[in-house]
Amino acid sequence: MTSLPRSLMSFVGIGRRRNQNTNFPLQPLDTPQPQSSLATPEEWIFLDNFEQQYGTKHPFFYACRFIEAMKLAEQDKKFVFMYLHSQEHPFANVFCKETLCSELVTQFLDVNFVCWGALADRGEGLQMVASLRPSSFPCCAVISPAPNDGIIVLQQLEGPLSPAELVEILQTTLEEQGLAFGSAKAKRDEKIRADRRLREEQDAAYFKALQIDKEKEKLKSLSSKERVQKPVETQNTRNYGMLRNNYVDVTKFHNKGNGSTSEKQDKGRITSSGKETQVAQ
């Protein structure tokens, strides 16, 4: 198992396999190819050459940069099956026709892997050859993403293989590495969920504190208004008390004057009565 840096996966491009007639005629290896007026994009060169030589009945190779294939595999929770094609190697033609394009291998790869291919003598294919250093061709590899923007080569296959041999090796790799890959993926997903929960809790705490601060400011504002209104109310109460006291004093004064007059009248009546009593005697 080899770890490779992702520095070789720059300049991401996006593409897919185009639909072609399944009766596309096979071209002999030594047949000169017509020159197109438009340059073929780098992502399509492998697929164009492969389909011109072996037809369109093959695994679904994504016409894209390698880093894009890795992203697709990560989204689908799959490994990447990488095929490096060397046209000059004598085993390449037989391997592609009898093994890679067989119905057994095609169905197995399409279900379980994201397939990506490249020419071994140019572009990203040449970079992969420099990193993997295969001793023979054809060369296949099973690759998974790794921490710190790296990749892990889980299995590297070199030389000719029959369809049954290739499927058996790939099946074993899935069984041995799939659990570890799933566990690592589950840990990453759990960390993402934990980070999301933490952010939500922090946001909730922040908004709660903000609401508390708003309530405090509101209470301070109300208290300030009450302090302004209270002296006015106190002065009004004091004035009302003074007016009430003055009213009571005036009332008492008038009552006192009326009381003296009544007493004088009563005394006069008593005196008169006394005289009358004396006269009667």
Distance of CA 77 to the CA centre of its chain: 18
Torsion of CA 63, 64, 65, 69, to 10 degrees: -100
Q: Which residues pair with 117 in a beta bridge?
A: 83
pLDDT given for residue 27 in this prediction = 42
Going by C-beta distance under 8 Å and a sequence separation of 6 or more, which residues neighbour residue 93?
A: 29, 53
Element (H, E) at 255: helix 163-280
Q: Which of 46, 158, 153, 141 is nearest to 95 (CA)?
A: 158
Q: Where are the alpha helices (DSSP H) in 121-162?
A: 123-132
CA distances, 221 to each of 135, 213, 215, 230 (Å): 82, 12, 10, 14
| pLDDT interval class at 157 (50, 70, 90) | very high
Look-up of token digits 């070199």: 158
Element (H, E) at 156: strand 150-158
Interval 58-97: pLDDT, tens: 999 999 999 999 999 888 889 999 999 998 888 989 999 9
Whole-model pTM: value is 0.54
End-to-end CA distance of the chain: 153
Q: Which domains are seen in the chain, by residue range? A: 2-194 (3.40.30.10)
Element (H, E) at 116: strand 113-119
Interval 117-142: pLDDT, tens: 999 988 899 999 999 999 989 999 99
Is there a contact between 52 and 94 (Cβ–Cβ < 8 Å)? Answer: no
249: left (phi over 0), alpha (psi -120 to 50) or beta: alpha
Is the pLDDT assigned to residue 3 strictly greater than 50?
Answer: no
- DSSP β-ladder status, 79-85 and 139-146: antiparallel
- The mean pLDDT value for 151-173 works out to 93
Q: Who has greater pLDDT, 149 or 216?
A: 216
